Structure 1
Amino acid sequence: MKKIIILLVLSFISIGKGIAQKFGYTDMEFITSKMPEYQLAQTEMKKFSEKWAKEIQDKFAEVGRMQRAYMAEEVLLTDDLKRKRQSEIKEKEQEAREYNSKIFGMEGLLFQKKKELMKPAMEKVQRAVSKICIQKRLDFMFDKSSDAGIIYSNPKHDYSDYIMEELGIDGQAAKAAKEDPVKEKSTVAPKESSPKQKSTNSKLK
């Protein structure tokens, strides 16, 4: 439904401007399922996922063993030993939780490994999509199998530079930062606002 709405909006815009824009769609899920390199990457991903999941499971299993041992011996322990054992269990559990977050959290190791393994196949797909869109003179290509929406758009319809200019953003610096954030952070100084921009900013505050 979301893609249909986007498509309808773009169609109305095209009609309103009197521009004959061409749209197309594809099924990336079906296409990638037929690519050997993509399937190989998926297999590798599964191996990493299972390996890390086993490591995390073992860590929590160790916490469980420590808790059961403590409960069995609790009546025989002094208050100091109880506090020590409870602290050890808590630390072990925290360690397991942190490792789980490190692996499966947002942009964790699993996410990074997926990007690494999938990159060659997805770049190959993107080159094919761009080539077909240019050959068929398509302005936009949609992926019907995901929520990604547009997977190709004609650069002539990109108005980002105009919007950044209206917002007082240095477009070239922003693009450089996107391409090489480390270099940009170390070499480019913040751009000082003009008196007009400062006045506008103060009003916004």
Structure 2
Amino acid sequence: MKTRGLLLILQFVLVTYSLSAQKWGYMDMEYVTSKMPEYQKAQTELDKFSERWAKEIQDKYTEIDRLQRLYQAEEVLLTDEMKRKRQQEIADKEREAKDYNNKIFGFEGMLFQKKKEIIKPITDQVYKAVERVCRQRRLDILLDKSSDFVIIYSNPVHDYTDYVIEELGLGTEEKEKNTKPATNSVNTPTTKTPATNTPANKVTKPKQ
């Protein structure tokens, strides 16, 4: 039992040492893309497609609502056969609207495909720059602080955002600091609050 316990402790120490030996850093993808005019242009174009498609779907549901109100107003005057036809017409249009919404905003729908078409080539440039920075700086791990991964605290000395921006040929600018980092000999890029572009429309769209 003692031998097994010692082996477990030794294994834990070795794993901990292995992780601590890795050189890591982080970057802010949203800030990087906010510095890329081609990305902002592509995002604006994508927003226009999204808003246009959302309006088309909203128009379909507006028409369905009109038909339902008209049917309710005239129901007492209709024969059973006319009622069935009107109800079928409304049901067909509801199904058509739902299918179109899924076609546009569903999993791997037209919005997803359009995003791949106009956004992915630009983000691929960023990933290639990130790869070059990691090789140059001999990083084993580079995290994206703008993603869902939550960084509770991060020393600015590990921020490689400006290196990626420089690698993309965008130039670097001094960023505003929320807090003053401790003085050290390493050039430490600072944190910032990036602007985001969020398409606004009336139709609820699933995450891509």
Note whether the superposition's TM-score is higher than 0.5: yes
1:87 is aligned with what amino acid?
Q
Q: Which residue of 1 aligns with 2:146?
A: 145
| SS of residue matched to 1:126 | helix
- Cα deviation for residue 61 of structure 1 reads 0.9
Q: What TM-score comes out, normalization by structure 2 length?
A: 0.62
Q: What amino acid is the match of 1:27? A: D
- 5+ unaligned residues in a row in structure 1: which ranges? 1-11, 150-205
TM-score after normalising by structure 1:
0.63
Q: CA deviation at 1:19?
A: 7.3
Q: Structure 2 CA distance, aligned partners of 1:32 and 1:69? A: 49
What letter matches 1:84 in structure 2? K
**Structure 2 counterparts to residues 15-30 of structure 1, below 5 A:** 15-17=16-18, 20-30=21-31
Rate the CA distance shift 1:13–1:128 in 2: closer, same or farther, 3 A: farther
Once superposed, which parts of structure 1, at least 4 consecutive aligned residues long, lie more than 6 Å away? Answer: none
CA offsets, 1:7-41, max 9 Å, x none? xxxxx876434873110100001111111111011
Task: Please give the root-mean-square deviation of Cα atoms over the aligned residues, in Å.
Answer: 1.9
Summarize the Cα distance change of 1:54–1:132 in structure 2 as closer, same or farther, 3 Å threshold: same
Show the counterpart of 1:118: 119
Is the alpha carbon distance of 1:148 and 1:19 closer, same or farther for their aligned partners in structure 2, counting shifts above 3 Å?
Answer: closer
Q: Corresponding residue for 1:89?
A: 90
Structure-1 separation of matches of 2:33 and 2:126: 8
Change in Cα spacing, 1:39 to 1:148, as seen in structure 2 (3 Å) is farther
Shift, 1:77, TM fit: 0.6
DSSP 3-state at the match of 2:147: coil
Structure-to-structure mapping, 1:1-205, within 5 angstroms = 15-17=16-18, 20-147=21-148
Corresponding residue for 2:187? none
Secondary structure at the counterpart of residue 25 of structure 1? strand
Contact 1:45/1:114 (8 A) holds in 2 = yes
CA distance in 1, matches of 2:41, 2:31: 15
In 1, Cα distance between equivalents of 2:34 and 2:15: 34
d(CA) in 1 for partners of 2:60 and 2:16? 60
The answer on whether the counterparts of 1:14 and 1:20 sit within 8 Å (CA) in structure 2 is no
Distance 1:53 1:103 in 2: 9
3-state SS, counterpart of residue 147 of structure 1: coil
In 2, the alpha carbon distance for the partners of 1:71 and 1:18 equals: 68
Q: Say which structure is richer in helix.
A: 1
Change (3 A) 1:134 1:84: same
Q: CA deviation at 1:98?
A: 1.0
CA distance in 1, matches of 2:108, 2:144: 23
Aligned length: 138
DSSP 3-state at the match of 2:139 = coil
Amino acid aligned to 2:81: D
State the Cα distance separating 1:79 from its structure 2 match: 0.5
Determine if contact 1:14/1:21 at 8 Å carries over to the other structure: no
Q: Unaligned stretches of 5+ in structure 2?
A: 1-12, 151-208
Instruction: Give the fraction of aligned pairs with identical amino acids, expressed as a percent.
Output: 62
**Alpha-carbon offset, residue 65 of structure 1:** 1.2
Q: 1:23, 1:140 within 8 Å by CA — same for their partners in 2?
A: yes
Alignment partner of 1:142: what SS?
strand
Q: C-alpha displacement at 1:68, in angstroms?
A: 1.4
1:141 counterpart SS class? strand
